[in-house]
Each structure stands twice: as C-alpha cells, then as structure tokens.
Amino acid sequence: MNDFVFHIPTKMYFGRQCLDKLSSEMKGSGSRVLIVYGGGSVVRSGLLGRIKDQLRDDFTVFEHSGIEPNPKIGSIRIGADLCKEKDIDMILAVGGGSVIDASKAIAAGACVDFDPWEFYGGPRRPIEKALPLYTVVTMASTGSEMTCGAVISNDETCEKLGRGGFPVFPKASFLDPQLTFSVPRFQTAAGAADILSHVMESYFKKDVDFFMLDRMMEGVMKTVIVNARIALDDPENYEARGNLMWAASWAINGLFGGGSRQVWSCHPIEHELSARYDMTHGLGLAIIMPKWMRYCMKTDPETCSKIRDFGAAVFGASDENEAIAKLEDFLYGDLGLASSLSAAGIENIDAADMAASICKKGNINGYLPLDETAVTEILEACI
C-alpha cells in the first residue's frame, strides 16, 4: 500500500428530486450564471427549459451552446471570453462529459489573461483559479462530474490532452438517472465501455496491492456489465440507469487509484484516435482494451494471473483466455460496439506515426511499459 490523500470537495446530489435543490445550492456563488450545453439534447428533452424556469427569479442567465463531443479549444475560448465580457459569477454545465470538461476549461480560462490552450499544450500552465462550477449530468460515462480533470482537443495541432486542477472540481453535481433515459443506444454502450475502462485502468496495476480496492473494483465492473445490458434492453429502467450513473462517478474519482502512481495505458492510445478521427471515446477504448490485454499476456506472462482474477470475478471465466473472450462478447456482442477500427469506419491508419505521437513526451509507463514499438503493435492489432 502506498500513502495517499483522498479529497473530493464536490457535493453529490443523486435521485429523482435532486434538481429541486439546484438553485438553492448555486445561490452561494453569485447571481450571473453561464449555462453551458452541447448540441441540443437538453433543449429537445425540455431539461434546459426546466432549469431556466427554476433559475429565473434569482439569477441572470446567459447561455453558451454547441459544445462538441470531444470538445474543441475554439468553444472554450468563446466561453471564456463570454464569461469576461458578461462578468459571469459561475458556470452551470448541463450535459455529458464533453460539456462538463469544456465547462471546467472555460471556468479556468475565464480567470486568466492568456489563451486557455496554454493550460494544455506549450507551457502547460497550472490551473490556479476558476469560476465556481456546477454540473447537471445527462449521461453515465466519464465521471467528470466528480473529478478535477478536463480533456480538450485542438484541431490546429491535432492534439487531445487532459489537464487537471483542484479549482475546477465542481462545487456540486446533480445526478438524476431519469435524465439519462434518452441517451441513444450507441452512446449508452460507449459510456458503459468508458466506465469499465476507467476501472480496468486502475485494476491492472503493479505498484499497489490493495485487497479492499480490488474487490470494490470487481463489484463496480460487474455493476457496469449487468446494468448496461439491462439499460440497452430497457432504456427507461431507473435502477439500471442509476447504477450506471453512480458507477461512472466512482470509477474515476481517485478512490480506486489507492495511491498508485502508475499511468493509464489504453486512454492515451484512445485520445490519439479521438484527436485524429474524432472518434467516440468509449468506442475507441472498446476496440483497444482486449488488444492491450493480449499484448500484456504475450509480453509478460506474469500479467496472466491478474487477468485471470479479473475474468473470474467479473465474468466467472475459468482462465485468462476466457476472460478476454468474455470481455469481447460483452463489448462487441452485448454492447454492439465495433471490434476494430475498420469496422468503425477508420481505414488506412499509420500505426507507427500515431505511436510516435503518443510517445513523443515519453513512453507510457503503465501496467506494462509501452514504447513506440509496443503501441504500434497494439494499434496494428486494432486495425
């Protein structure tokens, strides 16, 4: 066990009635609110209207819409400028991970006089200050509602990079599973794959042995598998949507890290796919994960025992090969996600060039160290 500090300052509201508390919770942060949302799902569902009705009496409301899936730095710049121009006190993100991530970057960008991309690329300036952020979550996936990380893409440099800072932890997040009933089948599946991957990235580690956390992670992975299947068959099943939603928040909030300093393996590879092909994050991970596990088994047979533990606990598999086969059945069968890049419509990738870009600041020092050759091999297996 390593030493660690676990500190999440975000107040989590969960359940059918949780939105009733939105305006009273936000009152402590001022009166001028920028609501940030995406391509319109929250308009179509009526959620935006409900929220504006609730805020009308106590707040002056401004809007910044059109945040893209895989949010782009251009939207962040516009949002940060709007905050300065309108003297915004706080931000309310209403949407999935892309909207929440964009809102974090806007909240930080509003407090500085330099280009918000400088948090990410170039000097990678620290996030020292941000406007207060509140989130209403509409999708179970990234867990951004309970973390201080935000992933942003830059079209000009073809980069997708993550950045974190304590000031961008949401002050409060509101999770009503009913808001996820309308998430389309593909996004439900991609979200489930993302949650599963977040847990797996922590589960497969070498620097920490933590019995309690391993058993908790197995429970969360099982939760995702059981409830994703139900939610796909019955999209308005509150229990299934609720389990996925709460699993998403806990999969990535630092609990499962347990003091580990090991970096994640599949996420940096996927972020390169999203940067180049605007790929849906969870789909990219679903393609990569089993190939990465096979690479681990082949390269270092010692990894087989943890893959066996995973398979036995999560799928009732009897050995490491069955563990991966059952994971594939879940991702490509139950979730219906594409099993390869070509099946996802991505042809002619230059795996070596992508690997060079992924490793340009150093190898991936994950469960197994991955250099350019290793990343190339994993990507080639994904083609």
Residues that bind Zn ion (CB under 5 A): 194
Contact window for ligand NZQ (CB under 6 A) among 81-89, 98-106, 335-343, 354-362: 98-106
Cα 59 to chain centroid distance, Å, stands at 30
Instruction: Report the alpha-carbon distance of residue 196 to residue 334 in Å, rounded.
Output: 14
Instruction: Report the alpha-carbon distance of residue 159 to residue 303 in Å, rounded.
Output: 31
Q: How far is the CB of 136 from ligand NZQ (least distance, A)?
A: 10
What is the β-pairing status of strands 32-37 and 60-64?
Answer: parallel
Closer residue to Zn ion in complex, CB, 194/214: 194
Burial 40-53 (b: 16+ CB within 10 A, else e): ebbeeeebbeebee
Contacted entry of Zn ion, ligand NZQ, none for residue 38, CB cut-off 5 to 8 Å set by kind:
ligand NZQ
Residues 119 and 63: beta-carbon distance below 8 Å? no
Restricting to residues 191-210, name those near ligand NZQ by CB under 6 A.
Answer: 191, 194
Count Cβ atoms within 10 A of the Cβ of residue 250 and give its class: 0-12 exposed, 13-18 middle, 19 or more buried. buried
Q: Which two tokens stand for residue 256?
A: 């499962």
| Binding residue for ligand NZQ, selected from 142, 188, 243, 249, defined by CB under 6 A | 142
Instruction: Report the alpha-carbon distance of residue 279 to residue 281 in Å, rounded.
Output: 6
| Binding residue for ligand NZQ, selected from 41, 103, 227, 265, defined by CB under 6 A | 41
| Binding residue for ligand NZQ, selected from 151, 192, 228, 245, defined by CB under 6 A | 151
Contacted entry of ligand NZQ, Zn ion, none for residue 41, CB cut-off 5 to 8 Å set by kind:
ligand NZQ
Contact window for ligand NZQ (CB under 6 A) among 25-33, 210-218, 274-282, 316-324: 274-282
Q: Where does this chain bind ligand NZQ (CB under 6 A)?
A: 38-42, 69-70, 95-99, 101, 138-139, 141-142, 144, 147, 149-151, 179-180, 182-184, 187, 191, 194, 252, 267, 274, 281-282
